[in-house]
Structure 1
Amino acid sequence: MKIIRLAAPIALAAAVTGCSREGEISVEGGVGIQATRTACPIVGVPAGTGDITLFDPPASRDAAAIDLVGNITNVRSECSESGNDVVTTVTFDVQARRARTDAARSVTLPYFIAIVRGGTNVTAKRVGEVTINFPAGQARAQAQGSATSVVARSAATLPDEVREQLTKRRRAGEEEAAVDPLSAPGVRAAVARATFEALVGFQLTDDQLRYNATR
């Protein structure tokens, strides 16, 4: 298992997901849903990167040529928000199944952790490796991967004027109560800039990505 450490001038944030608490209904004289933000990242696996297939021979894509299949599962995180930095450790299991079981075997699979801002902008990425050890006669094995990110909190902080628009109490019957504050382009853009994700997946080749997308 290899530990990856990220250091970037960004902070991680989540809205009603990841480490955040569930949204609460605001009923004290107002309307709408009250969402609690946190500096912890939204943690997940990007579509198409959660599994990897190795073939023998490598150029074949026949089902009979499948040598090994690996899957990322049980992704979880621990997050510390104290101080000026947000430290998040993401751990996950890699479960693998091989076709031939006659001898002991070790297989090293590459994986990545990427920090994504606003849903589209990759601000940092590192690649690590996890090794699966198969005893002789065993078709299945499992290992654990881990990655730690250390980032600044400041980028996850919304400007005061945006925070005021989002938290302003709106009473039923008032015109403002019918308007979603996130419909304002400036507010929506500010929230996106302060929202980050920590995504883990297998570091796949172009051929492996195409296989996952078309199988």
Structure 2
Amino acid sequence: MPLPTALRRPLKSVFRVPNGAPVLTVLAALALAGCNTLGLTDETKDGGTTLYPCPAVGVLDGTDHVTLVTGAGTDLTDIVAKAEIGKVVSSCRYNVDESTITVDLAFDGLAELGPAATSRNLTLKTFVAVTRRFNAFDKKQVYEVPVTFEAGRRQMGFVKTVEGTVLPYGGTADGRIYQILIGFQLTPDQLEYNRNVSYIPIR
């Protein structure tokens, strides 16, 4: 199924994402992992193959960055912080007996304190949403990502893992009927800001 224009950064399938593991480490593990490390049973199949394709996973266009402002937010000195999503990885497993697909994913990003920051602690709101081919929306979950800036640093990286998203399938359907979108959970004002103000990447 062709991906919609809103689905950005299509992903490469990898093995199960460990909790808290840096994304680059997860990618490197792909070359080292063997089938015996997956703990597969007779009714469980590793996804990411032609026979057992994983759902497409990507960043929803327009939600890959967020800018937190104070006051009118019309000047650079009004910026409290900004953050952006970087690399995303995913994996999936099929339970053939139960006709379900379990998806694990992880994404990293970078946050930066602005001139108006008054704290070195930041909480970012992100989301993971599941859509289906014949439904515009299936389900959505919001996750908070805490970021603490070390002394003397105005930029900090973050990693978020979301494991165990279970999706049903059946008949001739498979993982291709699903698309999983991630992004920052934006308020209407933040979404409007993203649309109207040119974003300068942190990286």
Shorter-chain TM-score: which interval?
Answer: 0.5 to 0.7
1:80 paired residue among 93, 96, 101: 93
Aligned position for 2:145: 130
Structure 2 counterparts to residues 1-215 of structure 1, below 5 A: 18=11, 36=50, 38-57=52-71, 59-83=72-96, 84-100=99-115, 105-118=120-133, 121-148=136-163, 149-154=165-170, 157-158=172-173, 195-215=177-197
The 2-side partners of 1:61 and 1:140 are apart by 22
Instruction: Name the structure with the higher helix share.
Output: 1
The 2-side partners of 1:126 and 1:73 are apart by 20
Answer yes or no: is the 8 Å Cα contact 1:103–1:136 preserved in 2: no
Could you tell me which runs of 5 or more consecutive residues in structure 2 were left unpaired when the two chains were aligned. 4-9, 14-49, 198-203
Name the aligned partner's letter for residue 206 of structure 1: P
What is the root-mean-square deviation of aligned Cα atoms in Å? 3.0
Residues 136 and 209 of structure 1, relative CA distance in 2, 3 Å threshold: same
The 2-side partners of 1:130 and 1:120 are apart by 28
Name the aligned partner's letter for residue 49 of structure 1: T
The 2-side partners of 1:98 and 1:18 are apart by 29
Answer yes or no: is the 8 Å Cα contact 2:131–2:137 preserved in 1: yes
The 2-side partners of 1:60 and 1:102 are apart by 13
Note the alpha carbon deviations across 1:61-97, whole angstroms, 9 max, x for none.
Answer: 3222112110011111021124322111110012101
Name the aligned partner's letter for residue 53 of structure 1: T
Residues 206 and 119 of structure 1, relative CA distance in 2, 3 Å threshold: farther
Name the aligned partner's letter for residue 157 of structure 2: Q
Name the aligned partner's letter for residue 60 of structure 1: G
What secondary structure, in the 3-state scheme, does the structure 2 residue paired with 1:208 have?
A: helix
What secondary structure, in the 3-state scheme, does the structure 1 residue paired with 2:152 have?
A: coil
Answer yes or no: is the 8 Å Cα contact 1:96–1:142 preserved in 2: yes
The 1-side partners of 2:134 and 2:90 are apart by 19
Shift of 1:116: 0.9
Note the alpha carbon deviations across 1:112-143, whole angstroms, 9 max, x for none.
Answer: 10001128611111111101110121010011
Name the aligned partner's letter for residue 143 of structure 1: F
Residues 37 and 50 of structure 1, relative CA distance in 2, 3 Å threshold: farther
Residues 153 and 67 of structure 1, relative CA distance in 2, 3 Å threshold: same
TM-score norm. by structure 2 comes to 0.65
What secondary structure, in the 3-state scheme, does the structure 2 residue paired with 1:128 have?
A: strand
Q: Relative to structure 2, which stretch is displaced further, 143-152 or 109-118?
A: 143-152
Which protein has greater RCO, CA pairs closer than 8 Å, 6+ apart? 1
Shift of 1:105: 1.2
TM-score norm. by structure 1 comes to 0.62
The 1-side partners of 2:68 and 2:118 are apart by 18
Aligned position for 2:46: none
What secondary structure, in the 3-state scheme, does the structure 2 residue paired with 1:146 have?
A: strand
Answer yes or no: is the 8 Å Cα contact 1:55–1:68 preserved in 2: yes
Name the aligned partner's letter for residue 48 of structure 1: G
Aligned position for 2:32: none
Aligned position for 2:37: none
